[in-house]
Amino acid sequence: MENGSGPEGQERSRKWSQAPGNIEDLDEYTALQKYISTYRDPRAADSAENQAKDGADAHKDKAWWQFWRSGTSAQATDKDAGVVPEEWLDADIKQGLTNAQVEERRRRFGWNEITTEKENLFIKFLMFFTGPILYVMEVAVVLAAGLRDWIDLGVIIGILLLNAAVGWYQEKQAADVVASLKGDIAMKAIAIRQGQEQDIKARELVPGDIVIIEEGQTVPADARLICDYDTPEDFEKYKELREQHALDPEEDPAGSEEKEGEEGEGVAHQGHSIIATDQSAITGESLAVDKFMGDVVYYTTGCKRGKAYAVCLTSAKFSFVGRTATLVQGAKDQGHFKAIMNSIGTALLVLVMFWILAAWIGGFFRHLKIATPSESDNNLLHWTLILFIIGVPVGLPVVTTTTLAVGAAYLAKQKAIVQKLTAIESLAGVDVLCSDKTGTLTANQLSIREPYVSEGEDVNWMMACAALASSHNIKSLDPIDKVTILTLKRYPKARDILKDDWKTEKFTPFDPVSKRITTICTLRGDRFTCAKGAPKAILNLSSCTKEQADLFRDKATEFARRGFRSLGVAYQKNNEPWVLLGMLSMFDPPREDTAQTIVEAQQLGVPVKMLTGDAIAIAKETCKMLALGTKVYNSQKLIHGGLSGSTQHDLVERADGFAEVFPEHKYQVVEMLQQRGHLTAMTGDGVNDAPSLKKADCGIAVEGASEAAQAAADIVFLAPGLSTIVFAIKTARQIFQRMKSYIQYRIALCLHLEIYLVFSMIVIQETIRADLIVFIALFADLATVAIAYDNAHSEQRPVEWQLPKIWVISVVLGIELAIATWIVRGTLFLPSGGIVQNFGNIQEILFLEVALTENWLIFVTRGANTLPSWQLVGAIFVVDVLATLFCIFGWLSGGITTEPLPSPMGAFYHRQTPHGWTDVVTVVVVWAYSIGVIIFVAITYFLLNQIPGLADLGRKNRSLHDTQMENIIGHLSKLAIKHENDEHGESRWVIVGKSSEEAEDD
């Protein structure tokens, strides 16, 4: 038996070598042999044909010119939403649906996918005119119309339209890039269509489709189990039960377990369990749930065992997960970033109201009229209009949105899909990264080193038993099972053993309780039970001598110290005692770039905490290889180690990682770090990682992640390894730097003109013409939209909105610019004309000086760490040229000022040209003066950033220690509410301490 030799073995070998080409047509063990021989590492991208098909599907049922259409199906309707006709669920498991039936059902139910509510593009464009800041500008439009100031009216409307158009286009462009990449992570399904098994996208399923659900797959829709794949004859029994209404109705999965325990409730399970699914993302239970004939399996849950036919009950939109998603679809939580933008916008609106009030009070003392004279800007409504235009940062929402959208498109090109724009801002501030080990820190390329074989046992028989105790579903193999089976290439005699007449009776996959995989199989009348799993679990099965057990434990410890994952192997023949065969040593090498990227992450102020399900010895050895700290603790110390409150939080904060973790441990680690004030990023790839990904400030689904993990994450990576995460952090910080520099610039601009104009209104009863003011605002917006494309540096520490620091610096810069403008205005009072060399116009000279200094201010606030991009330089150069032409040719200057000018203005008054022109020499002097102002402002900005007290002003404490509150919460977690009846039979609730068993369950 062990060698598979003899005539029978040779005959089986001959049959196997002549097996047909289609591996799905072979029996279990023949297919396994063929898989071992023909396996090639498929590390290549999908074919161009699939990509082209994905692109075609994206535009299916929508003509190129129907840009306003948000749906993908022309005839989709909400008629009888979610209710599937009973006769639709009658398809035969061998024939399935026809193409005509599929099209008919899709017209009614649409595509089988959960999508965020797609906005009409025109409505989305209109949304760029909403918000407190924009409402004030719209009031300015009404005011300009009321004053019949048509130039101002046109330019203000132009500014609003420009901002909306740029923001709409950039956001749409980023969304298109992300959407094009999302095809790479589309869920797949196997459906029976027109009598054939077809691999299709899960989004193409319709109610009534017969699907095949198997181990390793994600359930592609809410579906009712029909029968085991290997026993299609049970379909008749299913139909009988269905006619008798003896099947469980679809219900809340979270309540299904409770219902089963109630007497007289529900329907008895039919036969044995067909498959098991992981519902942890829905119910939180970590163990797989057994599913029987007629049970409902839920969309996005993972199949952990078995293979079965099922019928789709409804489309994703009306599934259990889909209905839950619609509850929060309307809540567009933009979180921290939206709060920051709102606070800045609100503060600027309050400031402009203050300055308007000051101007009106001064105007009343000057006996100014509210709206007359109508041809002059010296009336209170014109002053209000001017202050509205300069004081309201109309471009603030659009520039920040554009910067985020451009950044998201750039990240998408680097194979990082940003599913929520504001996640970029969160990622820039992250100061702790909790990372998986397998597949992220390591290459997820397990290899089996030289195994340990118990004395007197055959290594070939041990390897054959290890392969028997593995999943044989070659289409979706667990990495451990895969490497176990493929290692048989090195053991031809073990392969010969598997060529014998083996029959699998029962396969029990790995679960966290037993910590082993078990297969019951038969060979010519003998019953073999083969097991592989954690060394301790396998050792407990066997009845070996103490010497053998000690040697086995010592070997397991040695393997762990060397960074190997150990798997014990044992078997039982018939009812004889279990025989301990030995141990496999598996090694998952770190990625080549991991150690370097961890060092880079630490240099960026983002320490990496490793969370792994491996044993603590393996975790520590991996940490040593990666130059991570070795303060790695067993998850039992975290949960059941007697720690609570502040001590427990301290442990999490100082730990370099945790071993033997379950999903609830990951969630708890993230939660405790957040309670300490840390912004935490979490990487994950499995369905059970979804809760912790959702909880983290920035959830990251790594390459190869399940659909549930991708749905819960803020960012999805399509490229492998940790280097992508470090790259994304650097990019996010660059994007943050662009937004921060723009906000400092915009606040300083508002204060500059508010301070100058209000004082000039009150003191000398003069202002810059409203026509010119709107062009100053237009030029500022035109120039700074290009900030989204600017070169920015990445800070070496986590960034955050230090609003007090931003306001202090912006106020100082705004005051300096206002003083510089007052100096220009002051020189014009000199008999010589001051800054004017030959002839000029007061309005145009002030306009040019303000426009130049304001446009160049962005070069100051962006910092000198990088050179500005050509887009930013080009945009500012264009508007500077326009401002210069305005000044030279006197556009919109209003000609000579007709109102009396204060003394000693007389000499210069007569040097003004009637058409408002300014000589070129004067323009050159204004340029030179403006350059001097910007140099002075830049020196001030540099010095302000060197002040120690200002550097950390507004920076949050990233390690909060509220010891008292943490201890209170820790003590409360040890209490429970107990329901009991007193001696009089009356019901009452009392607070009691949890028993040790309850504490462990928690």
This prediction has a pTM of 0.73
Residues 463 and 573 grouped into a single domain: yes
Residues 564 and 454 grouped into a single domain: yes
Structural domain ending residue among the three candidates 702, 718, 734: 718
Which residues belong to the active site? 436
3-state helix, strand, coil in the chain (%, to 5): 50, 15, 35
Contact 794, 737 (CB under 8 A): yes
- Structurally, the chain folds into a number of domains equal to 3
pLDDT tens profile 890-909:
888 776 554 433 334 445 55
For residues 666 and 543, state if they share a domain.
no
Q: Domain residues for 987?
A: 963-993
Q: Does the pLDDT of residue 85 top 70, yes or no? A: yes
Examine the pLDDT at 577 and tell me if it is beyond 50: yes
Beta strand pairing status for 715-717 and 416-418?
antiparallel
948-959 residue pLDDT tens: 888 888 877 766
Task: Choose one of 718, 733, 750: the last residue of a domain.
Answer: 718
CATH assignment of the domain containing 474 = 3.40.1110.10
pLDDT at 356 over 80: yes
Q: Would 969 be classed as within a structural domain?
A: yes
Report pLDDT digits (tens) over 448-491: 888 899 988 999 999 999 999 998 877 667 778 888 999 999 89
Residue 368, in any domain of the structure:
no
The C-alpha atoms of residue 379 and residue 365 are separated, in whole angstroms, by 13
pLDDT, tens digit (0-9, with 9 covering 90-100), for 678-723: 889 998 876 667 778 888 889 998 887 766 677 778 898 888 877 8
Higher pLDDT, 128 or 581: 581
User: pLDDT at position 641, please?
Assistant: 59
pLDDT at 56 over 80: no
Residues paired with residue 497 on neighbouring β-strands, in sequence order: none
Query: What integer is the mean pLDDT of 179-183?
Result: 62
pLDDT value at 5 more than 50: no
Residue 815 is assigned to a structural domain of this protein = no
Contact 901, 909 (CB under 8 A): yes
3-state secondary structure of 819: helix
Write down which residue in 587, 612, 641 finishes a domain. Answer: 587
Residue 690 lies in a domain: yes
Same domain, 454 and 499: yes
Q: Is the pLDDT of residue 343 over 80?
A: yes
Query: At CB < 8 A and 24+ separation, what contacts does 282-289 make?
Result: 282/253, 282/254, 282/320, 282/321, 283/253, 283/254, 283/257, 284/664, 284/691, 285/257, 286/512, 286/662, 286/663, 286/664, 286/688, 287/511, 287/512, 287/513, 288/509, 288/511, 289/257
Same domain, 460 and 575: yes
652, part of any domain: yes
Q: Are residues 608 and 695 in the same domain?
A: yes
Q: What pLDDT is attached to residue 928?
A: 97
Does one domain contain both 437 and 458?
Answer: no
